[in-house]
Chain A
């Protein structure tokens, strides 16, 4: 409209300058008019995005058989309940100065319930939608394990009316609440579940479990820890699953689901031994790498930071062991286990980080200690049974006491759950005392396991007769007074 009007006006004005002026005036007028027209016409149009006519619900048939699962299986869900899709309209203006068209886009959300299989199942591990694994922390999925006393789902009850909803007892099913559908072509995707259903009696009889590896820098942390891997890139160190917030949560959730009568767990925490000769063995916390960029929770054990910690030797292109769990992760794991109603036994442990091709004198004879040996082989030098062995002499006592070190509780500064070792001593007693104090700071544990597998040391004697040298001299004494009833008589 404005194009025509301004074209005519431009021609009339331009004609003052003769016919050429009229042509120019017409052109200028048309240009100005079309700008005005576009902004008026576009400003009043509404561009609508794709909109659904009605909800596309995949087949829900009467008479579908209920699957019976044994062990771990992947099962497709059968739709048993759904609402109409919830439509969310987003309105935006395109272009600058709000001159562009109004654009309406539609997003759809679905509420639905899927029957999985006959109950009672232990848990569901992974869930796939259209073949791709779902991040279960980002959506609301409520699982019913098919128990005989399960209650009706709150959402179904809210939609259908209280008292009008079955609880689907003995049927394992999952309810999805407001699942966004834009990734699935605006229809309910095909959903499959990895179902865990123990078929035997063993799982119910398991009362106690030892949690390893004990060497994982942040693996025990229930909260996710990230590091930067480059400009604008980062990775989650302790989340390698989609079905839980962290590896720890995924593992312990599954452990408790599979072993419902689990009562107590022993949490292994490893430091590293550096030598098979008791008199030369240092026991130190270690890391996989001496620097991590932008670590969201910095690694620290007993006040030792990453750059000052023992760097675990490398083997086959990677670190030979995972690093020592950070103190923060151990304290958080103890708190998490206790909140889950489990009794916690803290289990300080020694891993031998002796690389292949070393030139250390071997207590069992010769030069060069075996690579990554068992901690049970730490012994006096020369070992018992060899000619000139230190066993049954005062040298054995000296070496065992050197293994224990000189740490006492007074060498640590404790503030809340944080324990810092102040001394330079690197003996076994420091390891034991550190975790004793850490456990105390974390609110206490139900038990403490030490000296495990150190059979090469416990069989040493400082005279001709059996004397339980290690027990007497190095391990129990420094713990006196830390715990009620310690040391046991």
Chain B
């Protein structure tokens, strides 16, 4: 769950398999005004990744992904484009760099953070394992008390949002209606 497992970098594979201009299976939302329908699409997309094995830096459904790879994959399915290709990163990037890069990227693409009280299905969650370190884990809210994430020791799974994880939520972000 720390998103720390080492592994072969799969970003080259991704660059070939997911050119950012290619249309994705789902049509992009056209004037999607209904937030609930949008959230439903996001949760459905995220659930379709369940079972994908954990693989550091990867983002390919059914083959391997890490927590960020899952969010990128869902983004591609919803909007048809890659949000951005992250640079190569080490399993312990957060402890070493000290920069809040994950949160910075979330703000770039999702806009301002919401409060935990406003959290609803389809939202992006960032987690901070230690208060003195940057946010390091990400997942997507499935239901009120469950969220879908790539679990380091296992695979993409819909886990219970248990109290000790709920306490560590470092940010709630809503997927934008359009990009």
Contacts and interface: CB of A to CB of B under 8 A. Distances in A.
A binds B: yes
Interface of A: 86, 111, 137, 140, 142-145, 150-155, 157-159, 162, 177-178, 222-224, 245, 249
A260 to B, nearest CB: 12
B150 to A, nearest CB: 10
A251 to B, nearest CB: 15
A155 B153 contact: yes
Given A142-B162, A151-B162, A162 B157 contact: yes
Contacts of A162: 157-158
Contacts, number: 57
B165 to A, nearest CB: 7
The A contact surface, by secondary structure, is: mixed
A155 B154 CA distance: 9
Given A111-B153, A155-B153, A177 B160 contact: no
B153 A137 contact: no
A177 B5 CA distance: 14
Nearest to B129: A140
Nearest to B54: A158
20 contacts: A142-B165, A143-B164, A145-B163, A151-B145, A151-B161, A151-B162, A153-B162, A154-B1, A154-B159, A154-B160, A155-B1, A155-B153, A157-B157, A158-B155, A158-B157, A158-B159, A159-B154, A223-B131, A245-B130, A249-B131
Given A142-B164, A223-B132, A245-B131, A157 B159 contact: yes
A151 B147 CA distance: 13
Contact of A137 (B2, B130, B159, B163): B130
Q: Which bucket holds chain B's interface residue count? A: 20 to 34
Q: Which of B2, B131, B162 has the most chain A CB atoms inside 10 A of its CB?
A: B162
A145 B162 CA distance: 11
Interface of B: 1-2, 129-132, 145, 151, 153-155, 157-165
B1 A177 contact: yes
Contacts of A178: 2, 153
Given A154-B151, A158-B154, A159-B154, A224 B132 contact: yes
A258 to B, nearest CB: 16
Nearest to B151: A158
A150 B129 contact: no
Q: Which of B2, B158, B160, B161 has the most chain A CB atoms inside 10 A of its CB?
A: B160
B160 A151 contact: yes
Contacts of A177: 1, 153
B91 to A, nearest CB: 12
B116 to A, nearest CB: 10
Contacts of A111: 153
A127 to B, nearest CB: 14
A75 B129 CA distance: 27
Nearest 4 interchain pairs by C-beta:
A151-B160, A154-B159, A158-B154, A142-B164
Nearest to A154: B159
A224 B133 CA distance: 12
A32 B41 CA distance: 73
Nearest to B1: A177
A140 B168 CA distance: 12
Nearest to A142: B164
Nearest to A341: B117
Contacts of B158: 162
Nearest to A151: B160
A428 B165 CA distance: 45
B151 A144 contact: no
B122 to A, nearest CB: 20
